[in-house]
A = this chain, B = another copy of it.
Amino acid sequence: MIARVFIKPKKGVLDPQGKAVHSALGKLGFNQVRDVRVGKYVEIRLDTGDRDAARSGVQKMCDTLLVNKVIEDFTFDIADD
């Protein structure tokens, strides 16, 4: 199984990186961009065939380590290899 975790700055938390990317995109002429948020992408390859176990495992990894909930939000999905 492979889990893909998407982490981004929480709503309301300033995102200096997103702001910088947004302005750089503007300078390059991409002017339909309304907003950019930059976060982290974590890909986890798991040795298990049990999707539910995988799901609860990844949820726990996010809760304990991967995400700092003071400033970050996350979602994840799980797919077969």
Interface SS of chain A: strand
Structural contact, B28 and A46, CB atoms closer than 8 A: no
Structural contact, B48 and A32, CB atoms closer than 8 A: yes
Structural contact, A37 and B47, CB atoms closer than 8 A: no
A residues sitting closer than 8 Å to B (CB atoms) are: 4, 6-8, 18, 21, 24-25, 28, 30, 32-48, 57, 60-61, 64-66
Structural contact, A42 and B21, CB atoms closer than 8 A: yes
Closest 7 CB pairs of A and B: A41-B41, A35-B45, A39-B41, A34-B45, A32-B47, A37-B43, A6-B41
Task: Give bound CA distance, A65 to B8, whole Å.
Answer: 19
Known: A35-B45, A36-B45, A41-B39. A61 touches B4 (CB 8 A): no
